[in-house]
Amino acid sequence: MIRWTSLRIVSVTLAVSSILSALPLSEPTPVHVKPESSAAAFTVLKAGSDAALVSPQPASLPFGWAAVELAGPHEVYVQNKDITKSLDVRPGAELRQAPKADAPILTLANAGETLDITGLHGRWTQLKLARPLVGYIKVASASLPLASSPRPALTEPAGAPAPFAPPPVRAAAQGATAGEASTAVSLTDSGGDAVPRIFQGRFVSTRSPFRPRRPYDWALADESGSRFAYLDVSRLLQTEPIENYAGRTVAVLGAARALPGTKDFVIIVESLQLR
């Protein structure tokens, strides 16, 4: 009789743990950066998936909202000024959803956190963030116990085995493939084994009779004409004169590295194509 009671308690515990850790979604559900309907949504969870609830739920959550955890990796953007000379992201730097000053802030950079460069966008650097992010979804009041709702008390008989609670089921973001690996350049990687990436911009000359010569004669510029990376074309095998690309939009394949003693980047160009 005691053994049967223990098994029943374990089953109830498993059921309650499942309810508290995952919330089934019957329709596509936007995940907001704040628990407000007017706040930006940075992804949408698919209908039929289970939202991984943050446990415990924040006590300050408004009624009808739930905090959910989204597994990484995530694509985020940081301003170039927040990248140090050692190619680390400054702790507390704002990691945004898009390379724009008015884009939603998804989280802040942590001290000692490993981030990877996956692209350059003018004054912004695109990064891969491995850790989970917390967002907020609107739910029916009866869908889950809120932070203020007491959890049911379960008492086990002495000597009963501790119940096993399964880990939360992660919800896949719409359009993303869970667990998919991506090639990236480590921010702490300044050696010769940096991974080549494709960068796009306008191919411009840095030479001018009115100013000192730059470290490299060519650079990539954004739409406003601002340089965001120098180009080292010394390894480029081109049959066409390099000057023919000046002022034109190009796609460059190469590895990005920091220039010592500056905040500038240089891309070691392996191939160059018009766009």
Alpha-carbon gap, residue 9 to 16, rounded angstroms: 11
Instruction: Tell me if residue 133 falls in helix, strand or coil.
Output: strand
pLDDT of 140 reads 65
For the chain, the residue count is: 275
168, HSE (Cβ side, Cα atoms, 13 Å): 22
Half-sphere exposure of 55 (CA within 13 A, CB side): 18
Q: What is the pLDDT of residues 12-27, one digit of tens each?
A: 333 333 334 778 888 8
Q: Look at the pTM and tell me if it is higher than 0.75.
A: no
The per-residue pLDDT for 1 is 37
| pLDDT for the residue numbered 250 | 87
Give me the residues of the chain with pLDDT under 50, please. 1-20, 141-143, 145-193
Cβ neighbours for 11, distance < 8 A, ≥ 6 positions apart: none
**pLDDT value of residue 108:** 92
Q: Could you tell me if 188 and 117 are in contact, meaning their C-beta atoms sit under 8 angstroms apart?
A: no
Q: Rounded distance, CA 144 to CA 154, Å? A: 18
Q: What percent of the chain has pLDDT over 70?
A: 72
| Token duo for residue 257 | 């590295």
**Are the beta carbons of 54 and 20 closer than 8 angstroms?**
no
Beta partners for 31? 43
Residues 222, 265 contacting (CB under 8 angstroms): no
CB atoms within 10 A of CB 262: 11
Contact 197, 255 (CB under 8 A): yes
pLDDT of residue 264: 84
Nearest to 154 by CA among 167, 163, 145: 163
| Nearby residues of 183 by Cβ (< 8 Å), 6 or more positions away | 195, 197
The DSSP output letter for 151 is: P
The helix (H) or strand (E) run that includes residue 17 is helix 2-21
Each residue of 150-173: pLDDT tens digit?
Answer: 444 444 444 444 443 333 433 333
Are the CB atoms for 185 and 197 separated by under 8 Å? yes
The one-letter code for the residue type at 93 is A
> Cβ neighbours of residue 191 under 8 Å, at least 6 residues apart?
none
249 exposure class (CB count in 10 Å sphere: 0-12, 13-18, 19+): middle
pLDDT at 194: 61
Strands 105-108 and 227-232, sheet pairing: unpaired
Q: Domains of the chain, with CATH numbers?
A: 74-131 (no CATH), 190-274 (2.40.50)
